[in-house]
Amino acid sequence: MKNIYISLFAFLFAFTLHAQVDRTKLPEPGPAPSIEFADPATFTLENGLNVFVVPNDKLPRVSFFMILDRDPLFEGDKAGLTSFVGDMMMAGTESRSKDELDEAVDFIGASLSASSTALSASSLKKHQGQVLDLMTDVLYHPVFPEEELDKLKKQSLTNLAASKDDPDYLAGVVSSALVYGLDHPYGEPLTEKTIENVTVEDVRDYYTTYFKPNIAYLAIVGDIDEEEARQLADRYFSSWKKGEVPEFEYPRPTPPAENQVALLDRSSAVQSVINLSYPVEMHLPNEDYMATRVLNFILGEGFNSRLNGNLRESKGYTYGARSSFGSDQLIARFSANTSVRNAVTDSSIHEMIYEIRNMAESGITEDELEMAKANLSGRFGRSLENPNNIASFAINISRYGLPADFYSNYLQRLDALTVEDINEAARKYMMPENLYITVVGNGSEIKDGLARFGEVSLYNESGKEVQEIQLSDDSKTAPEIIADYLVAIGGRDAAESIKSAKLEMSAEVQGTKLDMVALHDMEGQRMIQKVLMMGNEASKTILKNGEATVSGMGQSQTLSDEQYEDLKMSSLWLIPELHYENMGYTIELDGASDIEGESAYKVVITNPTGGKVVNYYSIDSGLKLKSENQISGETFYLDYQEFEGVKIPVEMSLKSPMIPVPLNSKVNNLELNVTLSDQDFE
């Protein structure tokens, strides 16, 4: 009977409550909660190592995360040094080779990694002693083998070469150089020369200078308590010797007085990569930090942001447009970026500036604020599921002098922000008239449109400004430049005397050797090129009888007429310049450019179907330095040698969207005026 009365009371209470609720309105949100963190245990060893302990017994695992709090470094003529430090530390110790170290880590199912400012390890609880032995062996006894640095430098050079074919990477290089300056740690460029300059002694000097406990923070997270953590820290890290660590100061970059436009010309580009940016002082302790997170979310972080809504949803210019508002103890950066087709480059920049200006002048709405708060609070809530983040919160509080309740009251401070708070931040931090406007794209198609935003300056792949080469009114015409090229290689008569050729070339892609054989029959307008991998035919391209076929992997495809004409223009002849006029191609001079530090005429060759090849001829020597088109990419001609009185390129570098890294090829054998049969072109 008692249970019946309880059930009846519960039913009546629920019914009454239901009757009183107006379900036509959303419920009012409650106050943002204050998050109760279990404060990590903290202690400091006598050598200055700061230790934070975050117990979490959900899994029988323990992780050790160490970071070094050093000033940013300007690496100068050794830019790239710090990228090698971690891998060099992991390349072996006094008692273990790299293979032995890797095997020991794998044997216990652990992880161990290092960088120039961090060292971390993780394992099952029962293996914590073993993983700490390995971690401290790397920390105390690295040997820095020369052969490992050679390998890392080779990999870095390969990656850099590949990156130079990535317009997003190039936009970042130029933008960073503008925002921070080339003499700043955040703006200095990475080059082939600076990578080559790094020595083992440089790596060792960095290690001995900066790996000191008195600038280090160690977080211990997992199935462990404070007492055990103290014992482990004392046992494994108390012998680490402290020392003086150099400190550095750098000039504070400031936004430009007016908008500045920087163009990195990529004639083969079908899209423009746009980046609008400027330096800004913003970091966790800044009172405007939280407001700028909300501000940026509304402007360009969420899918429903203003930038994305304008450029993607309304105009259809792009697949996505975003912005970011950095946070950094030294100096941060605001940036907005997107990629658009060439025809709408200037229109896209106009719309991006409009949104930045509109944010500064008109502010946000209450609905936008609530949407941003909901997303940011949800993101913060999800971050609390990872105990490693709790450890990083504690380190940040100590490292940057934050209030003790900085994270526990995070949601309350976010919820307390008003529309006026965000609008005030927008007026303070949105600078539509003080932008560095960086564009990587086809200068011939977009440069005039960019001029509406200011004087256009040209930049190279290292982020350095290059002088635009001005041609005089009486400069050479395109046909004259082609004629000079033929003279430079030995003369038209000598070139025309070559009726056929057989080339044998070799190249290497990510450690795999490729052999290439090409036959050219100029009189019969035939060409065949075979690519061999480990002696086996990987692909074959044939041009003959007005058709082009490409075969590989057991399949064959006949190309379209337009594709045939494009391939014919660039690949059919050994010396294509001899045939431009006969084939009815249009050749036009399109100014001059800097090619790897050498001034060159830019000549655009167009075939009857509209396909284009852009060639660059040295103003001084007349030789062709580079060719590019939208299909095969860019080919640099690095070395010429004379054969039967004609100079022919024998070393080339191809950067193509079809291969992941640049393809550097060399001619090993070249035979001219060889006898060729129909069978050779099957």
Q: Cα–Cα distance between 495 and 489 in angstroms, integer?
A: 8
Q: With respect to residue 115, please indicate whether it lies within any of the assigned structural domains.
A: yes
Instruction: Return the pLDDT at 348.
Output: 97
Residues 451 and 486 both lie in one domain: no
Residues 197 and 279 both lie in one domain: no
Would you say 95 and 137 are in contact if contact means Cβ atoms under 8 Å apart? yes
Q: pLDDT band for position 283 (50/70/90)?
A: very high
- pLDDT tens digit sequence for 524-545: 999 999 988 888 888 899 999 9
Residues 490 and 581 both lie in one domain: yes
Q: Cα–Cα distance between 647 and 246 in angstroms, integer?
A: 55
Backbone angles phi, psi at 253, to 5 degrees: -60, 145
Residue ranges making up the domain that contains 64: 41-167+191-237
Range with the poorest average pLDDT among 21-25, 222-226, 407-411, 649-653:
21-25
- pLDDT tens digit sequence for 8-47: 333 333 333 344 445 555 455 555 555 665 678 999 999 9
DSSP three-state, residue 368: helix
Residues 280 and 415 both lie in one domain: yes
Q: pLDDT band for position 552 (50/70/90)?
A: confident
Q: With respect to residue 19, please indicate whether it lies within any of the assigned structural domains.
A: no
Residues 347 and 488 both lie in one domain: no
Q: With respect to residue 512, please indicate whether it lies within any of the assigned structural domains.
A: yes
Q: With respect to residue 180, please indicate whether it lies within any of the assigned structural domains.
A: no
| Count of structural domains within the chain | 3
Q: With respect to residue 5, please indicate whether it lies within any of the assigned structural domains.
A: no
Angle between helix 366-383 and helix 289-296 axes, rounded to 10 deg: 110
Residues 377 and 492 both lie in one domain: no
| Enclosing H/E stretch for 338 | strand 332-341
Residues 214 and 303 both lie in one domain: no
Alpha helices in 363-409 (DSSP H): 366-383, 387-400
Residue 429 has pLDDT above 90, yes or no: yes
DSSP three-state, residue 657: coil
CATH number of the domain within which 344 lies: 3.30.830.10
Residues 80 and 125 both lie in one domain: yes
Residues 304 and 450 both lie in one domain: yes
Q: With respect to residue 533, please indicate whether it lies within any of the assigned structural domains.
A: yes
Q: How far separated are the first and last CA of the chain, in Å rounded?
A: 98
Q: Cα–Cα distance between 595 and 268 in angstroms, integer?
A: 14
- How would you label 152-169 residue by residue, b for 16+ Cβ within 10 Å and e otherwise? bbeebbbebbbbbbebeb
R_g of the chain computed on alpha carbons: 32
CA distances from 120 to 86, 131, 141, 548, 573 (A): 11, 10, 16, 55, 57
Would you say 96 and 137 are in contact if contact means Cβ atoms under 8 Å apart? yes
Q: Cα–Cα distance between 113 and 135 in angstroms, integer?
A: 9
CATH number of the domain within which 528 lies: 2.50.20.10
Residues 217 and 333 both lie in one domain: no
Mean pLDDT of all residues belonging to the chain: 90
Q: With respect to residue 183, please indicate whether it lies within any of the assigned structural domains.
A: no
- pLDDT tens digit sequence for 165-223: 889 999 999 999 999 999 999 999 999 999 999 999 999 999 999 999 999 999 999 99
- pLDDT tens digit sequence for 351-408: 999 999 999 999 999 999 999 999 999 999 898 888 888 889 989 999 999 998 899 8
What tokens were used for 662? 């640049």
Q: With respect to residue 560, please indicate whether it lies within any of the assigned structural domains.
A: yes
What tokens were used for 224? 């462990």
Residues 461 and 482 both lie in one domain: no
Residues 346 and 295 both lie in one domain: yes
The type of residue at 225 is: D
